[in-house]
Structure 1
Amino acid sequence: MYYRILFILLEIVVILCKDVSDDERATRAAFIQRLLNKQKFLEGRVKLLGGTNKYEGNVYIYHAGRWGAVCDDSWDDAAAHVVCRKFNRTGRATHGGQFGEANEKYWMDDVVCEGDEKSLSQCIFTGWGSTDCDKTEAAGVICTNMTDNTAPSNLKQKPTKRLHEVIDVGTSIRLVGGRSSAEGRVEIYHNRRWGSICPDGWTLYEAAAICRHLALGYAEQALQTDYFGSSEIILSGVHCEGNDTNLFTCKHQEIGDVACPREAGYVAAVVCTKQLADLLLDTTAIERSAHLQDVPMFQLQCAMEENCLSKSAYEIQKTNPNWQFETRRLLRFTASSLNIGNAEFRPYLPKHLWQWHLCHMHYHSMEVFATFDVLDATGRRVAEGHKASFCLEDNTCLPGVEKKYSCKNYGDQGVSVNCSDIYQYNVDCQWVDVTDVEPGDYSFKVAVNPHARIAEQNYHNNAASCVLRLSDTYAFVYACKLLRP
């Protein structure tokens, strides 16, 4: 809407300038330029609304000419710290629209920050406007002084020590309060007392370590709740890699008398299962299929609606009346994922919440199923892409396995055991826009189920990190290796 109004203003200026003096024409042109400069100046800025002072509130970010909210999925204190740094403060994350419902559309979802990013837009997220959140899921922050003792402890320093370095011989863990032995809040026995774990930053990676530790299989859910009851919290800042064989190999922040910034009574909990899907990304398919293609922008209009091109493409669309005839250089490739688990891989959203995309005439069952990143030698992301899971289906199956899922006619979506979901290189958005990337050697990372929104047996086969050699005429992808997203 902002750009439509801006273009109308430009047309009005052109019409009105036909019979005016050069000075008046220059004045009107300067007015339009100020509008453009303001939009460029505000891009990526954040503001807080709904709090009792300027240091707290729901987070809003400015993009593409308008303010938008941030969803609280994956929102944590590291992201809050990035926001609060503009005030020279640290921060604590809030969830569930603590400062009121979102009063703008959501711009960001599944935000994952390390905590040292210069702006929120540098964090990993699902793509501008890609979200499944309702207005009650607004992310917020409470900013505190850097020296304030109430600042979350896990922001003062990252976990460095592993639990086995500090625990005593008699330390053990258990699940309490569940309806079965495979679920409940996690309690750890340390210094002759049982206590709970602070749920801040508690994810499926940490839950997986618990389920393996107790020989209960795999983590189906990682919960931050009081549903299973609560007890004194004696462990905080737990950080696992996802392939840990037990909790004691994970890193932690504090053990003993700890402070937890979460809601009172909320503790870490898990639900374990013996049956779970497991996607294995095919590195050979990526290496064999990767290639460059120059495509005119008029062929990419549907993809542009899904934010599948780089930022400069949208700037060209705004400023160049003949933008349709400009070309973009795309790094295309095929991504194939085989379900090697013992349960089906299904979308986390129920069918009635899938979103219909009119341009492509298909349903989105997941906002982001895959992410693609081009990284330079320092690890800085220089180009990125994402793939909405509009069609999770059984494209090919191993001999003797019958296909079950098909996207035709609003069919059920999923990937059966021993079947593969394949995105061919000629499918829209199955690329990275590398138009603005200089020739050279880079790292190319492809990840499926990148935010672990769907539970799996193993996450260290969900991503591939490859060497990318980019020239003016060709792209060569090789030496791919599997790792965690």
Structure 2
Amino acid sequence: MFRRILVIFIQFAVIVSRDLSENERASRAAFIQRLLNKQRNLEGRVKLLGGSNIFEGNVYIYHAGRWGAVCDDSWDDAAAHVVCGAFNRTGVATHGGQFGEALEKYWMDDVVCEGDEKYLSQCVFTGWGTSDCEPSEAAGVICNNIVKSVPVNIKRNLNKNLHETIDTRRTSLRLVGGRNVNEGRIEIYHNGIWGSICPDGWTLYEASAICHHLALGFAEQALQTDYFGNSKIILSGVQCLGNETNLFMCKHQGLGDVTCPGKPGHVAAVVCTQHLADLYLDTSAIERTAHLQDVAMFQLQCAMEENCLSKSAYEIQKTNPNWQFETRRLLRFTASSLNIGNAEFRPYLPKYLWQWHLCHMHYHSMEVFATFDVLDTNKKRVAEGHKASFCLEDNTCLSGVERKFSCKNYGDQGVSVNCSDVYQYNIDCQWVDVTDVVPGDYTFKVAINPHARVAEKSFHNNAASCDLRLTESYAFVYGCKLERP
């Protein structure tokens, strides 16, 4: 018996080890190419698992040859619309692993969509594989039976400003159901009735327009709730930039008899305030300090734990036993944010949820506070960086202002009024890995508080869009202009 097994093994070894003919080589090459093509075709695709049918479940997205889950941080109905759009439907978001715990590692976290993106990967998120979410925090969707199309009576209003479709002299706005005059659900008076606004895609940008319209200051919270009661929804698809002086300057999709996805009874609501922080990104610091540096990977191990290098670095780490001696080319720069508001900028997470980072030896109070992107002439992202965690403190203050916040010894974190939080170019992750970017002209974009997780007076001074000239030996950043993230 043993001899028979040995003969079979020898025959198998001969078959495996024999030389291949040209036809066999071509056949195997074609097979490998089909596998690669399949991976390319699947890149960015989404699927839903755990639901009772193919139109509901936890969301999984395909990237870099494998499926991964999506965390429910910042997950909302706008993101659900993008996912369900793949099935030509609309939908609503689910949270907390409604369809079971995540079966794969998280590919995406802190996903923020406008709602009109064609693919989920086009939305803003923290970066592929960057997440500290538990398996129970899986994001999901329920795609409804309504085909993703716009009714005929609403199409004429799509992407039009509200003042173009209503008589503003006969239209009013008010807050109802609040505990004081600064909060409540928003009602709009149109055609003789007061009605609510659909909360789908409702953010601080839209809430800011409401508070400005009613001369109540600035938006502290944008709510999708029934806490303040509800009424018939007569306005949907509101989209604002955040710098409008009134709601009528915002775009909308429908007015009158409208369809609103989401939880029944939930409407758009706001909390307004006269006191808010306002971070101002220093563009001159970016232009003045931007430069290239080649760094050996053994010096970047702490940064690699936070996914601060491009994907190719991690592929080298897996395949090259001497990966530590490979180098990465980093575009380094300083980011300085001055609080020009009239209130402190504080982390949105309570102190007991801050995370200790052993490499940096301090607590991180925000998962994502800044994002850095290099875009080509078609606005396609060719390189990205991010501050996966952040420690907010008063690094410098204007004359006469005392520093209050410090990261040392589990201290309170934040940015005081007239103080700046400064991340110098020599700090870990204060860079973009441009090793794989070919020389040329690009757009370099830096954004702070990019997902508007913390309310501010204005978001239009939170991002800098700069020209970037990248060569084999140097980088030149110039012409930076402030804009919204």
Change (3 A) 1:25 1:331: farther
* Amino acid across the alignment from 2:255: I
Partner of 2:89: 90
Q: How many pairs are equivalent? A: 464
* Amino acid across the alignment from 1:467: D
Change (3 A) 1:431 1:25: farther
Cα distance in 1 for partners of 2:313, 2:307 equals 10
**TM-score (norm. length: structure 1):** 0.87
Cα distance in 2 for partners of 1:134, 1:236 equals 34
1:225 deviates by: 0.4
Change (3 A) 1:98 1:333: closer
Cα distance in 2 for partners of 1:301, 1:153 equals 54
What pairs up with 1:335-414 in 2 under 5 angstroms? 335-414=335-414
Cα distance in 1 for partners of 2:389, 2:245 equals 31
Cα distance in 2 for partners of 1:446, 1:157 equals 36
Change (3 A) 1:22 1:135: closer
What pairs up with 1:25-64 in 2 under 5 angstroms? 44-62=44-62
1:451 aligns with 2:451: yes
1:22 deviates by: 8.8
Change (3 A) 1:322 1:91: farther
Change (3 A) 1:52 1:77: same
Partner of 2:126: 126
Change (3 A) 1:290 1:22: farther
Tell which deviates more after alignment, 89-98 or 311-320: 89-98
Change (3 A) 1:44 1:302: farther
What is the aligned-residue RMSD (CA, Å)?
A: 3.2
Cα distance in 2 for partners of 1:98, 1:232 equals 31
Classify the secondary structure of the residue corresponding to 1:336. strand
Partner of 1:231: 231
Q: 2:188, 2:194 within 8 Å by CA — same for their partners in 1?
A: yes
Cα distance in 2 for partners of 1:330, 1:51 equals 44
Partner of 1:435: 435
Partner of 1:286: 286
Partner of 2:16: 23
1:139 aligns with 2:132: no
Q: 2:366, 2:391 within 8 Å by CA — same for their partners in 1?
A: no
Q: 1:277, 1:417 within 8 Å by CA — same for their partners in 2?
A: yes
Change (3 A) 1:117 1:190: closer
1:66 deviates by: 6.2
Q: Percent identity?
A: 76
Q: 2:114, 2:201 within 8 Å by CA — same for their partners in 1?
A: no
Tell which deviates more after alignment, 387-396 or 118-127: 118-127
* Amino acid across the alignment from 1:167: I
CA deviations 1:255-289 (Å, max 9, x no partner) are: 11101001100000000011100000000000000
Q: 1:75, 1:93 within 8 Å by CA — same for their partners in 2?
A: no
Q: 2:385, 2:432 within 8 Å by CA — same for their partners in 1?
A: yes
Q: 1:77, 1:152 within 8 Å by CA — same for their partners in 2?
A: no
Q: 2:102, 2:136 within 8 Å by CA — same for their partners in 1?
A: no
Partner of 2:299: 299
Partner of 1:162: 161
Partner of 2:311: 311
Change (3 A) 1:26 1:394: farther
CA deviations 1:436-480 (Å, max 9, x no partner) are: 111111111100000100000011000111110111100000111
Q: 2:89, 2:147 within 8 Å by CA — same for their partners in 1?
A: no
1:320 deviates by: 1.6
1:130 deviates by: 3.7
Q: 1:287, 1:480 within 8 Å by CA — same for their partners in 2?
A: yes
CA deviations 1:38-65 (Å, max 9, x no partner) are: 9967765533112111222110235577
Cα distance in 1 for partners of 2:155, 2:327 equals 47
Partner of 2:24: none
Cα distance in 2 for partners of 1:157, 1:131 equals 41
Cα distance in 2 for partners of 1:85, 1:160 equals 18
Classify the secondary structure of the residue corresponding to 1:79. helix
Classify the secondary structure of the residue corresponding to 2:170. coil
1:328 deviates by: 0.8
